[in-house]
Amino acid sequence: MATCILWQEIPEELVHEILLAVRDSDKRLYRVVVELTSRRLGIRQAKLLEMAKTERHQLSSHVLSLPQSEEISSHLFSRWLVHTRAPMLCAWLDALEIPHDRQGVVEAFPEEPSSEKLRAALEGLLARYPTLDVAIYLRLFNEIDDVGWKGLEEILSGDDRLRMGRREVSEIRG
């Protein structure tokens, strides 16, 4: 799933949370989002920055959901996950016995684990972390060039708990 599509699928509260986290951890990346939103919507940056953050982030999510925004969208989700959800990333990698740093960043990926191992790792994540966060992470994880595991794709497409959609996601997030 392209990351730009996720902006349409997640609740506005999470959009706001992600963009606030990026603003706090990487001001330069956040500035790029503001510049992109300003340019695409024809709004002066100063006017955009005067808006309430929730309104600004809602407008930004519309721009980030465009296919042309895929690259920056991917950076935003990656930044958010590594800086705010590292324990979840590490738990997944530990369950699959994949070496990583303390932020959940991997140098090299192994061959695809067995379906049983993937399912056990998934159940471990779902027992400890919000379903929406798990669903987002695993989708992005499986999009990594060296991953693309068929077994994980089958799990993501077949497990209703991991289904993406704004209505369902809002209910899952709570």
Residues 135 and 69 in one domain: no
Write down which residue in 30, 65, 83 finishes a domain: 83
Cα dihedral 55, 1, 140, 170 sign: positive
Report how many domains make up the chain.
Answer: 2
Residue 174, pLDDT above cutoff 50: no
Residues 157 and 105 in one domain: yes
| pLDDT 10s digits, 14-37 | 999 999 999 999 999 999 999 999
Residues 93 and 125 in one domain: yes
Which residues lie closer than 8 Å to 100 by C-beta, 6 or more apart? 89, 90, 93, 106
Residues 67 and 103 in one domain: no
Residues 125 and 164 in one domain: yes
Residue 52: which domain range? 3-83
The pLDDT score that the predictor gives to residue 1 is: 63
Give the whole-angstrom CA distance, residue 94 versus residue 104: 9
Residues 68 and 96 in one domain: no
Residues 146 and 103 in one domain: yes
List, in sequence order, the alpha helices (H) in the chain. Answer: 3-9, 12-25, 27-41, 45-50, 53-64, 70-84, 86-95, 115-128, 131-142, 150-158, 166-173
Residues 44 and 105 in one domain: no
Write down which residue in 38, 59, 83 finishes a domain: 83
Residues 60 and 110 in one domain: no
| pLDDT 10s digits, 84-133 | 999 999 999 999 999 999 888 898 899 999 999 999 999 999 999 999 99
Amino acid at 13: E
